[in-house]
Structure 1
Amino acid sequence: MTETSGGARYLRISEHGLIGDLRSVALVGTDGTIDWYCCPNFDAPSVFGSILDAEHGGRFELAAVGAARTKQFYFPDTNVLITRFFTEVGVGEVQDFMPVGGGPAETERHRLIRRVVCVRGSIPFRVRVAPRFDYGAREHTLRFVGDVAVFDSGELSLGLTATVPLEAEGRDVRAEFKLAEGESSVFALDQVGGEVSPRRCARTEADEQFSATVAYWRRWLSASKYRGRWREMVHRSALTLKLLTYAPTGAIVAAPTTSLPEMFGGDRNWDYRYVWVRDAAFCVYALLRLGFHGEAEAFMKFVTRHISPGDGKGSGPLQIMYGIDGRTDLPERELAHLEGHFGSAPVRVGNAAADQLQLDIYGALIDSIYLYDKWAQPISSDQWDDVCALVDWVCGHWDQPDEGIWETRGGRRNFLYSRLMCWVAIERAIRMANRRGLPADLMRWRECRDAIYRRIMSRGWSERRGAFVQHEDGDVLDAAVLMMPLSKFIAPTDPKWLSTLDALTKDLVSDSLVYRYDPVASPDGLRGDEGTFSICSFWYVEALVHAGRLDEARLAFEKMLTYANHLGLYAEEISHTGEQQGNFPQAFTHLALISAAFNLDKALG
């Protein structure tokens, strides 16, 4: 733990584990504190948000009294998190989980269970539950309904039940208790109101829900087809991606947090609790690779239901992101009353990038549809009509400038990656049409595909740098071009590509970690530097694999694994000191890990 100048204390981003119920998640620190939890959904206002403001954000503290060493791990093959406390008088643990499934009434309860067990000796514990509703901006009252403490903000009510006596402390609740070896206690937090009434959670009920939750996650993971060298890391990534899915609609969020800084003191603090078309489409690829067809089918239903051509706001038929319920209005605002993680403001909710034009999303989406059609089940005639409408639009608009994959706020440019993914959109649609004999304007599609290819090869190549570059007629390198061989645009051993790979290695790679680009050479409209981008690091591994540089690829991959946190989780970026930066955990990073591991395994034989 580190103390800020204001006296507030924060755990580092990496010092957290994740639990969830496929509706929302909670971050649990290595000190036993839940410091991020939004109820009832991913993008609902936070109830516990002390990761963004230690004083005003709210928290659920549960820890051994006195000095203790702690370790965290997941119950094997599940998303049940265990935090162990090693003290001078014994060993105890907190088992954190959110039950998955059950009837509609139980689902609406959004139950969060914290089971405390004394493993050895005799240990005193303390608890303090201090919710702060609506990102800490809304007051609440506290009352007791029998043994259940009910926190009520007017718009949201939470009921806390425990197997030990609870005491009011102002508008918060506290408890102190002691457990001997083999004894346990249970705390359960429910959303209550309407048809969901406050209900005690006895030890036997908690035991049953623990067993059912473990069984659910193990049953889900058993569908994985991955049997390679990095099974533990791949499966942890798969479990993490599953936690980032919103079961009611099939949506997949980019990350479950907002405003965790990409650099302390900079402007790069964003809300990622939405469905980025690009990120979710890549997730579908990763999950299909592992054999999880159900998640891919659910996302395809989300696409069909919520992301139809014509939904965009004037910049194209698609938005780059949507709400988990498919909504298109995601206004961005700053929460000035929150100081930010380690004092790194601003804290933002909503995301103005929703109004940007990012042409690459069409390639990501249509590629995922192509893979679903190939590996899972054929798409419907209505879905094909939507694909054709998107491809026809891409054919008419691929050559305009946009904000690009990195969502720069420094103006639109003719980004190579955007051109590349427009090529992917058309090329994959042509494959589908040919393979299934589907109706399409193939002559126009082929002409556009070939025109994009020639444009990239002529204006995306810099003779001075001996490399493909960030935008047309420029000299700035960009790690996004690592997707060129991965998307099958160029042969991985093409001399121009190998020269590009060498240039990227020289300028953007540091100990296997890859920077997106140099913001000094290519201003992006934002203050501050940033760390290396973890998805780019895994793309780099894949590019080395396809280039036949297997020893370099394996070393780079193994190095990258050392930057994961103690549970195998990754944020968006890694700082120059090796710390996790940005929203956490990041779907983009984990899906790229899966893809890199899969392809490296295959190449190594």
Structure 2
Amino acid sequence: MTASTPASTVSQEYDFAYPDRYLPIAEYGIIGNLHTTALVSVTGSIDFMCLPRFDSPSVFGRILDADVGGFFSFSCVADDTKHKQLYLPGTNILLTRFLSGDGIAELTDFMPIAKEERDFAIFRRLKGVYGHHQVRVSLRPRFGYGKRGAAVEKNPDGRGYLIRDPEGEQPTMLLLTDAELTISDDGLSGLIELHQGDDIDFVLTLNEGVDYALDYMEAFTACRSYWTTWSTKCQYTGFWKEAVLRSVLTLKLLTSAHFGSTVAAATFGLPEQIGGERNWDYRYTWIRDSAFTMYAFLRLGYTEEAEHFMDWIRDKCMDHLQLMYGINGEKKLTEKSLDHLEGYRGSSPVRIGNGAYDQKQMDIYGELIDTIYLYNKAGGSITHEFWMSITKLVDFVIAHWKDEDHGIWEVRSGKQRFLHSAVCCWVAIDRAMKIAEDRSLPCPMGEWRKVRDEIYLDIYENFWNEELQAYVQFKGSDTVDASALLMPLLRFVSSQEPRWLKTFAAIEEKLSADVLIFRYKAEHGATDGLEGEEGAFVICSFWYVECLARIGQIDKATVVFEKMLGYANHLGLMSEEIGLHGEQLGNFPQAFSHLSLISAAFQIDKKNQ
């Protein structure tokens, strides 16, 4: 930790509020240590972070409540300050630049890769690039999802400041810095005189675990080396390498180094509609999302991540499969509202937990076994015990494939026989048969083939709506659903199948807005049991790109793909949805969005070869 200037002067001034109290969701970058993540705004403020792991209570949450959420910010006093943000190439090291009439200042943010959750740290270096700046620093932690402030004191050993949870539920933090700060009732603040050539460091860590009182450059070099080494393993060599690499770097940040599981997104509570109620907690491991993520990792050559996830699956899930788990395999994820938080731009309720955890979703069996099939193709191990567990999943599918469920979109309006669930039941049996054939493993092949073919004929005959000339969302419905785009992607039908091509045309007509694809629309009869509208789903839009490529419309697929990249933020990050005004909505960044981007890029490149 170094500072080339004397201790800073101090100000009692508090951090200024954002002009309208909230920045757009897209105005954030993400950093992480493979146990937790933090969102850093384009203005240099950490406005979201859970500690010590993804699904722990937040200590910074200003993105969900501008008043009581908590933050850790740096802000230049100059009124004309503009900001730019970028990643160092091939890394998750984030730079935020402050550009004003006073000159240029720079903030570098990163988390060292930690072996254990308790080894958490954030390194923040303020650098005077040119000129002289006055920079406000404000550290306002709020423990327990914003319910409690912090008890702050000088560290008795003289090293920095101790920041305690008054109720002792979350670990004590330690801020290491040479800057002199003022302790207040709710945190720390100061005014730093930053001159050209100054480097002033702040290390926020835990008062346990690794001792991070080390030279900044040592930590920076180790972190940069980790990420650049990891990035060079990426086997994608196509036209959109930068976008694909940023996407897989983001997927890696959403993966637990300890458990091998992945979270669906970094955040909870960010709305799918401003002011609406569709505000969910995505800091958990969905079997579906994780299965697709592993497919992306395998395609790009990251077999270690797939192997670690398979270990987690074998250990936590194979006895009884449910649609989502905590990152350590927790099975009960009780949903509740944090009524003390106003929500992003007043979007409430802010929910933690997820009430869909005990929903019945038949599609997860196909998505998981398809991933195991791909893992097997990549040389993964299928032991006898693992195979016996897989056959039990197939037996369950054979016994229950006609059951109604809540479907891929986790509707809360009641169960139906959803098209996508039926297709994935077919996939589950088909891929298990392929694994058995490849490995010469024992199974009742005749029985499996009979049921697989029965499912195929049921879908072909009973999910087709002659009036709409399309496969419909669920049996007996009269609405189309973008999940039908997955039918050729899962190799259930040929991309030249006439009925599917008509379904594709119906999706283009009814669910598209230029390159944006909505998953379904209430005006066409779809219902999910919730009020309000939602934006276009990013994953559906990239499925659309893949389908265009598969049916031979390569030029159109390329244009659509590149226009979709234009909806990413300044760092190449994407949330769950694109709103009706072009804004990013929903939890951020979203694994679904980035893994589908990777898949679409691969498909276009494949067709261009």
Q: TM-score, normalization: structure 2?
A: 0.94
Query: Do structure 1's residue 112 and structure 2's residue 122 form an aligned pair?
Result: yes
2:190 maps to what in 1?
A: 175
The correspondence of residues 417-432 of structure 1 with structure 2, limited to 5 A, is 417-432=420-435
2:410 maps to what in 1?
A: 407
CA distance in 2, matches of 1:415, 1:152: 49
| Per-residue deviation, residues 15-56 of structure 1 (Å, max 9, x unmatched) | 000000000000000111100000100000000001000101
2:173 maps to what in 1?
A: 158
Compare 465-474 and 414-423 and name the one that shifted more.
465-474
Compare 271-280 and 8-17 and name the one that shifted more.
8-17
**Could you tell me whether the CA contact under 8 Å between 1:569 and 1:585 is conserved in 2?**
yes
**Could you tell me whether the CA contact under 8 Å between 2:411 and 2:529 is conserved in 1?**
yes
Q: How far apart are residue 457 of structure 1 and its match? A: 0.3
- Aligned counterpart in structure 1 of residue 217 of structure 2, from 207, 218, 222: 207
Query: Do structure 1's residue 416 and structure 2's residue 419 form an aligned pair?
Result: yes
1:296 maps to what in 2?
A: 306
- Aligned counterpart in structure 1 of residue 592 of structure 2, from 572, 588, 594: 588
**Could you tell me whether the CA contact under 8 Å between 1:21 and 1:98 is conserved in 2?**
yes
Gaps of 5+ in 1: 311-317
CA distance in 2, matches of 1:242, 1:54: 29
Q: How far apart are residue 65 of structure 1 and its match? A: 1.9
1:122 maps to what in 2?
A: 132
1:313 maps to what in 2?
A: none
Query: Do structure 1's residue 220 and structure 2's residue 224 form an aligned pair?
Result: no
CA distance in 2, matches of 1:277, 1:393: 16
Ranges of 4+ aligned residues in structure 1 off by more than 4 Å: none
Q: Secondary structure at the match of 1:71?
A: strand
Give the number of equivalent residue pairs: 587
- Aligned counterpart in structure 1 of residue 475 of structure 2, from 472, 477, 481: 472
Compare 131-140 and 86-95 and name the one that shifted more.
131-140
Query: Do structure 1's residue 561 and structure 2's residue 561 form an aligned pair?
Result: no
**Could you tell me whether the CA contact under 8 Å between 1:8 and 1:54 is conserved in 2?**
no
Gaps of 5+ in 2: 1-15
Query: Do structure 1's residue 273 and structure 2's residue 283 form an aligned pair?
Result: yes
**Could you tell me whether the CA contact under 8 Å between 1:151 and 1:158 is conserved in 2?**
yes
CA distance in 2, matches of 1:553, 1:600: 7
Query: Do structure 1's residue 98 and structure 2's residue 111 form an aligned pair?
Result: yes
CA distance in 1, matches of 2:159, 2:315: 44
- Aligned counterpart in structure 1 of residue 252 of structure 2, from 242, 250, 255: 242
1:77 maps to what in 2?
A: 90
The correspondence of residues 4-403 of structure 1 with structure 2, limited to 5 A, is 9-67=21-79, 68-101=81-114, 108-145=118-155, 146-153=158-165, 154-155=168-169, 156-193=171-208, 196=209, 201=213, 205-310=215-320, 318-403=321-406
**Could you tell me whether the CA contact under 8 Å between 2:205 and 2:212 is conserved in 1?**
no
CA distance in 1, matches of 2:477, 2:578: 27
Q: Secondary structure at the match of 1:34?
A: strand
1:315 maps to what in 2?
A: none
CA distance in 2, matches of 1:9, 1:85: 20
Q: How far apart are residue 604 of structure 1 and its match? A: 1.4
Equivalent residue letter for 1:356: Q
Compare 366-375 and 511-520 and name the one that shifted more.
511-520
Q: Secondary structure at the match of 2:346?
A: coil
Q: Secondary structure at the match of 1:268?
A: coil
Q: How far apart are residue 200 of structure 1 and its match? A: 6.8
Q: How far apart are residue 247 of structure 1 and its match? A: 0.7
Equivalent residue letter for 1:555: V
**Could you tell me whether the CA contact under 8 Å between 2:150 and 2:186 is conserved in 1?**
yes
**Could you tell me whether the CA contact under 8 Å between 2:546 and 2:557 is conserved in 1?**
yes
CA distance in 1, matches of 2:152, 2:445: 65
CA distance in 2, matches of 1:522, 1:509: 15
**Could you tell me whether the CA contact under 8 Å between 2:286 and 2:324 is conserved in 1?**
yes
CA root-mean-square deviation: 1.5
Q: How far apart are residue 109 of structure 1 and its match? A: 2.8
CA distance in 1, matches of 2:271, 2:175: 32
Equivalent residue letter for 2:417: N
CA distance in 1, matches of 2:443, 2:516: 42
2:536 maps to what in 1?
A: 532
CA distance in 2, matches of 1:10, 1:285: 36
The correspondence of residues 568-587 of structure 1 with structure 2, limited to 5 A, is 568-587=572-591
Query: Do structure 1's residue 461 and structure 2's residue 476 form an aligned pair?
Result: no
**Could you tell me whether the CA contact under 8 Å between 1:8 and 1:55 is conserved in 2?**
no
Q: Secondary structure at the match of 1:211?
A: helix
**Could you tell me whether the CA contact under 8 Å between 1:250 and 1:301 is conserved in 2?**
yes
- Aligned counterpart in structure 1 of residue 605 of structure 2, from 597, 601, 604: 601
Q: Secondary structure at the match of 2:522?
A: coil
